[in-house]
């Protein structure tokens, strides 16, 4: 489908000739020459947005004043928060967020027919690629049959979803699906889909070149910014609007410059670097901002390391972390199999349009900070947050301090005592050998075919090489293989209680590991291929051996996971792992060998070799020269071209999935995976108005850093939960529950899973974890049951939170579930960018405390009622009065800031959500 360019933008349209071929483009220097502003020193990331304004200038949606605002941004030192309408070139999805997005599109087809339109009106106008990567679970591991068994199980569990997605591929234009077993969406995007500079015909049939841009229904869409492709994560709701032609309303962002100098020293990895960057930027505060990396250090930073840093932008809170185009960008494009004409276009375009980074690159930034990469040390991050950087040489001490904090207090001791006494006092607390001296726990004997052993606080039960964050980086993957090779040669193996796994983000990784002979070494110590997908990083770590899980839960032990992922939030990785650490792939292998976070991995021996000699980390750690030599030899252009030649074809299993031929979906009534959502039922042709909130009750009082994992978990759930009970009532056996993430196409499951994370703490209840609250009768009940009870009474609900509410994943279900529970507003100290936008997109009003107020300063207990006025005539970012009536009848008046940030967002809320807005707009055009 041709791109549509603005009709008022011809004055900046120029022609570029590359390798004898001419292509049109929209020139930033021409815009400056036309008197629209001095854009010379804009950061490259912002020039990409400016080009978007030039290309789509039409005098209505995008005006000359919008373009001039970028010149004022530079004049004002990197600040000019003007609202603009931005149109990304394409949309990227994964299946956890993609299934509900396609469900919504299918429901919109039903909805537009009901409003008098035609089903074909609901079609992506921008290219959409959906990569199935979130569904494979590690059931089988540590043996040669693990990959095939996990794939077979994946299809058994998810055939309803895959049938639905394949229907969508046939029914919708501009929509492609990358089948299961191919790779992780961000790695496939980086290695194949992205082009850095895109080209397509416009509505006049002329070829136009423009920066490759996208939004994705996954927060780590930012990874591709390492290749100078501007992209970031949005909720499925916003992505659906974008693919249907709705521009993304945003403010011109501030851009923080992060200067990198020096070069990495021997023994450190790109993972160590990114963990330090995350720590620094979280401390700096970059929520809602672009971060652009610059400086002489980039001359020594491979694109694989850049992609790792860009990947973790959600962890440091930025909209994106961008790396400008330079010679390393071109080298990577060539290595990964891009056409030589494309590489030539990228260079010529970047140089002509002022987006090329060289020694003279010195843009204006809103603010700056810097890092000498020569100061980086080996590190991990955890046990609960990615920004909690820990130098490796103090990891054991830090873990001891964490355990001490967890174990302090009478309640924890009484709980542990109850568990021991409840089992006849058979498990007395004993000192852990090598312990730092503050925690005592019962030892438990377990058997899983590997003999008996003992578990305690700190036993590492999961060691997983997982996630696109690091498996996209051949330097750390080759490094992990070399650690495995040296460990194997010395006779070391992981401890028998450690669940080991290797889940690369693309098939290219397997290609070069096998070419280097390293997969054999990884296999020999238990890091067999388990699948190509996100696995452990998104909670699909699979079950632990039953006796290990029982031991951890019976004795309330702090189980540990070590993974090469990007997230370690509470309750995310495994219900049996309370402490989770992010580490480089080589460190994941090393930690599997000691199996204990209490051991100092730097100073203490990892084990003994065949002759009984102690082996230390330095003995098995490869040199940079060893790694670089193998990368140079085995990571080839041909490997990328071969593995991506039939990327959309899939294996025989995918090809055998049968789908109906129809413009609308015939919703199977008995399906527990895919159901028609209620959003558009009985929808009026005209929108309503925003109403004040009268006499609302509090559904939950939540603390700081409540993530979207807390709000809408992705992992497994038990029979006793509301979601579990729903499935049991429909004769689904517990072994077939799958995960919340896989059931996002069924609103009934997801409503019941909202605020259901096993580690969430509702401050309305003392010392209780999990999705509980107080119902209308004042008794403890599940959040879902309480919400339904309040809905039956016609009572609106609100949520209170602390700082950084909604951090983490882009998942739209954190907002959808909130809305379906009857929550009208969320009141917090601050919001993370994507979740705030998602709430607005579902018609839920985000509000921030002002004047130093918080849930704590107000003394909220949960029995209050809340009235918020001024919403019926709200203006963007306005302040509104709120009255809190306490349980004893006293009242307090406070002022809240409404985080409906733009005029178009106000319209979204008036319509009941962005999809309702789009649907009514399309129906009118019919």
| Domain map (residue ranges) of the chain | 10-85, 90-375, 385-635, 693-925
Fold of 385-635: Aconitase; domain 3 (3.30.499)
**861 pLDDT band (50/70/90 cuts)?**
very high
Rg (CA), the chain: 27
778/82 Cα distance (integer angstroms): 47
250 and 453 Cβ atoms separated by less than 8 Å? no
Among 7-21, 49-63, 775-789, name the one with the lowest average pLDDT: 7-21
185 and 218 Cβ atoms separated by less than 8 Å? yes
- Per CATH, the architecture of 693-925 is what? Alpha-Beta Barrel (3.20)
**569 pLDDT band (50/70/90 cuts)?**
confident
**pLDDT tops 60 at residue 502:** yes
Tokens of 49: 């947005």
Please give the average per-residue pLDDT across 25-43, as a whole number. 97
Q: What is the DSSP string of 791-822?
A: HHTT--EEEE--TTBTBS---THHHHHHHHTT
pLDDT in tens, 869-894: 999 999 999 999 999 999 999 999 99
**CA distances for 858 relative to 137, 891, 894, angstroms:** 44, 11, 9
Please give the average per-residue pLDDT across 586-609, as a whole number. 97
Strand partners, 325: 356
pLDDT in tens, 179-232: 999 999 999 999 999 999 999 999 889 999 999 999 999 999 999 999 999 999
**418 pLDDT band (50/70/90 cuts)?**
very low
**pLDDT tops 50 at residue 613:** yes
H-assigned helices in 842-913: 903-911
Quote the pLDDT of residue 421. Answer: 29
Q: Answer yes or no: same fold for 90-375 and 385-635.
A: yes
**pLDDT tops 50 at residue 419:** no
- Which percentage of the chain shows pLDDT scores above 90? 83
Buried b (16+ CB within 10 A) or exposed e, 467-493: bbbbbbbbbbbbbbbbbbbbbbebebb
Quote the pLDDT of residue 365. Answer: 98
pLDDT in tens, 266-286: 999 999 999 999 999 999 999
Tokens of 717: 């759930």
Mean pLDDT score of the chain = 92
Higher pLDDT: 416 or 32? It is: 32
Q: How buried is 877 (Cβ within 10 angstroms: 0-12 exposed, 13-18 middle, 19+ buried)?
A: middle
**pLDDT tops 60 at residue 133:** yes
**544 pLDDT band (50/70/90 cuts)?**
very high
pLDDT in tens, 448-486: 677 788 999 999 999 999 999 999 999 999 999 999 999
Tokens of 883: 């009255």
**pLDDT tops 80 at residue 446:** no
- Per CATH, the architecture of 90-375 is what? 2-Layer Sandwich (3.30)
Quote the pLDDT of residue 1. Answer: 61
**245 pLDDT band (50/70/90 cuts)?**
confident
Strand order in the sheet with 499-502: 389-391, 379-381, 579-582, 560-563, 460-465, 499-502
576 and 715 Cβ atoms separated by less than 8 Å? no
pLDDT in tens, 819-830: 999 999 999 999
Quote the pLDDT of residue 660. Answer: 85
Please give the average per-residue pLDDT across 716-720, as a whole number. 92
Quote the pLDDT of residue 238. Answer: 85
43 and 363 Cβ atoms separated by less than 8 Å? yes
Q: How buried is 625 (Cβ within 10 angstroms: 0-12 exposed, 13-18 middle, 19+ buried)?
A: exposed
Please give the average per-residue pLDDT across 791-796, as a whole number. 97
422/224 Cα distance (integer angstroms): 53
**pLDDT tops 80 at residue 416:** no
φ, ψ dihedrals at 823, nearest 5°: -80, 125
841 and 861 Cβ atoms separated by less than 8 Å? no
Strand order in the sheet with 320-322: 320-322, 290-294, 255-261, 367-372
CA angle 770, 772, 777 (to 5 degrees): 165
What does pTM read for this prediction?
A: 0.87
393/384 Cα distance (integer angstroms): 19
pLDDT in tens, 742-773: 899 999 999 999 999 998 999 999 999 999 99
- Which percentage of the chain shows pLDDT scores above 70? 96
**pLDDT tops 70 at residue 427:** no
62 and 53 Cβ atoms separated by less than 8 Å? yes
| Among the listed residues 188, 104, 137, the one whose alpha carbon sits nearest the alpha carbon of residue 648 | 188
Higher pLDDT: 738 or 481? It is: 481
pLDDT in tens, 635-693: 999 999 999 999 999 999 999 999 988 999 999 989 999 999 999 988 888 998 999 99
89/9 Cα distance (integer angstroms): 17
**pLDDT tops 50 at residue 440:** no
Quote the pLDDT of residue 443. Answer: 65
């Amino acid at each position: 489908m041709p791109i549509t360019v603005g009709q008022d933008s011809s004055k900046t349209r120029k022609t570029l000739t590359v390798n004898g071929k001419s292509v049109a483009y929209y020139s930033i220097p021409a815009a400056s020459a036309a008197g629209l502003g001095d854009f010379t020193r804009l950061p490259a990331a912002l020039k990409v947005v400016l080009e978007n304004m030039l290309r789509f200038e039409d005098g209505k949606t995008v005006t000359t004043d919008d373009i001039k605002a970028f010149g004022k941004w530079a004049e004002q030192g990197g600040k000019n928060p003007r609202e603009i309408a931005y149109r990304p070139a394409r949309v990227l999805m994964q299946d956890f967020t993609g299934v509900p997005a396609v469900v919504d599109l299918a429901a919109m087809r039903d909805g537009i027919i009901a409003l008098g339109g035609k089903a074909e009106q609901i079609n992506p106008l921008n290219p959409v690629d959906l990569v199935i990567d979130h569904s494979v679970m590690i059931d089988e591991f540590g043996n040669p049959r693990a990959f095939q068994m996990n794939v077979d199980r994946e299809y058994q569990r998810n055939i309803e979803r895959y049938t639905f997605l394949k229907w969508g591929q046939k029914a919708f234009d501009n929509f492609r699906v990358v089948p299961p077993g191919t790779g992780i969406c961000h790695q496939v995007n980086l290695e194949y889909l992205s082009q850095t500079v895109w080209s397509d015909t416009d509505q006049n049939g002329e070829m136009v070149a423009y920066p490759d841009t996208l939004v994705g229904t996954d927060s780590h869409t930012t990874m591709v910014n390492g290749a100078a492709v501007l992209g970031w994560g949005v909720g499925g709701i916003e992505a659906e609007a974008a693919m249907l032609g709705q521009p993304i309303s945003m403010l011109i962002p501030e851009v923080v410059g992060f200067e990198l100098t020096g070069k990495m020293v021997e023994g450190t990895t790109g993972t160590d670097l990114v963990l330090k960057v995350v720590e620094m930027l979280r401390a700096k505060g970059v929520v809602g901002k672009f971060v652009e990396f610059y400086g002489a250090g980039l001359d020594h930073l491979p694109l694989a390391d850049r992609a790792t840093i860009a990947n973790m932008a959600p962890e440091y809170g930025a909209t994106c972390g961008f790396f400008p185009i330079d010679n390393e960008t071109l080298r990577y494009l060539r290595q990964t199999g891009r056409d030589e004409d494309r590489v030539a276009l990228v260079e010529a375009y970047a140089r002509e349009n002022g987006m090329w980074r060289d020694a003279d690159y010195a843009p204006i930034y809103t603010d700056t900070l810097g890092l000498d990469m020569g100061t980086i040390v080996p590190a991990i991050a955890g046990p609960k947050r990615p920004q909690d950087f820990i130098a490796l040489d103090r990891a054991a001490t830090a873990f001891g301090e964490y355990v001490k904090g967890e174990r302090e207090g009478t309640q924890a001791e009484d709980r542990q005592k109850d568990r021991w006494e409840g089992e006849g006092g058979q498990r007395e607390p004993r000192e852990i050998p090598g312990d730092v001296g503050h925690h005592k726990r019962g030892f438990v004997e377990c058997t899983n075919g590997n003999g008996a052993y003992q578990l305690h606080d700190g036993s590492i039960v999961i060691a997983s090489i997982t996630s696109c964050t690091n498996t996209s980086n051949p330097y750390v993957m080759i490094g992990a293989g070399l650690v495995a090779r040296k460990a194997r040669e010395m006779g070391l193996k992981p401890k028998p209680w450690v669940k080991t796994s290797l889940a690369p983000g693309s098939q290219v990784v397997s290609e070069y590991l096998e070419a280097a002979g390293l997969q054999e070494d990884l296999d020999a110590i238990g890091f067999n291929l388990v699948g190509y997908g996100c696995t452990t990083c998104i909670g699909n770590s699979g079950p632990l051996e039953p006796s290990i899980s029982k031991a951890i839960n019976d004795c309330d032990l702090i189980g540990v996971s070590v993974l090469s992922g990007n997230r370690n939030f509470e309750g995310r990785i495994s219900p049996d792992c309370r402490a989770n650490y992010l580490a480089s792939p080589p460190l994941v292998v090393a930690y599997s060998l000691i199996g204990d976070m209490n051991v100092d991995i730097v100073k203490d021996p990892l084990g003994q070799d065949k002759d009984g000699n102690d082996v230390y980390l330095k003995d098995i750690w490869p040199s940079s020269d060893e790694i670089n030599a193998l990368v140079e030899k085995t990571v080839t252009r041909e490997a990328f071209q071969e593995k991506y030649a039939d990327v959309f074809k899939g294996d025989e299993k995918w090809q055998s999935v049968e789908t109906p031929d129809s413009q609308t979906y015939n919703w199977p009534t008995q399906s527990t995976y895919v159901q028609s959502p209620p959003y558009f039922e009985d929808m009026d042709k005209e929108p309503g108005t925003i109403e004040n909130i009268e006499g609302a009750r509090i559904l939950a009082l939540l603390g700081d850093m409540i993530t979207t994992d807390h709000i809408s978990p992705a992992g497994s759930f038990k029979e006793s939960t509301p979601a579990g009970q729903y499935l049991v009532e429909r004769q689904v056996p517990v072994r077939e529950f799958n995960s919340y993430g896989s059931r996002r196409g069924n609103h009934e499951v997801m409503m019941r899973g909202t605020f259901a994370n096993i580690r969430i703490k509702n401050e309305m209840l003392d010392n209780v974890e999990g999705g509980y609250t107080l119902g209308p009768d004042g008794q403890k009940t599940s959040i879902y049951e309480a919400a339904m009870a309040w809905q039956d009474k016609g009572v609106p609900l609100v949520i209170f939170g602390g700082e950084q509410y909604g951090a983490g994943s882009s998942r739209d279900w954190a907002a959808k579930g909130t809305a379906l529970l009857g929550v009208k507003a969320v009141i917090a100290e601050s919001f993370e960018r994507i979740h705030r936008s998602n709430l607005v997109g579902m018609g839920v009003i985000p509000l921030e405390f002002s004047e130093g107020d918080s849930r704590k300063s107000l003394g909220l207990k949960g029995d209050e009622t809340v009235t918020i006025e001024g919403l019926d005539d709200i203006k963007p970012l306005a302040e509104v009065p709120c009255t809190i009536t306490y349980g004893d009848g006293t009242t307090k008046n406070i002022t809240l800031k409404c985080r409906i940030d733009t005029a178009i967002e106000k319209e979204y809320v008036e319509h009941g959500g962005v999809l309702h807005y789009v649907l009514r707009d399309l129906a009118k055009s019919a």
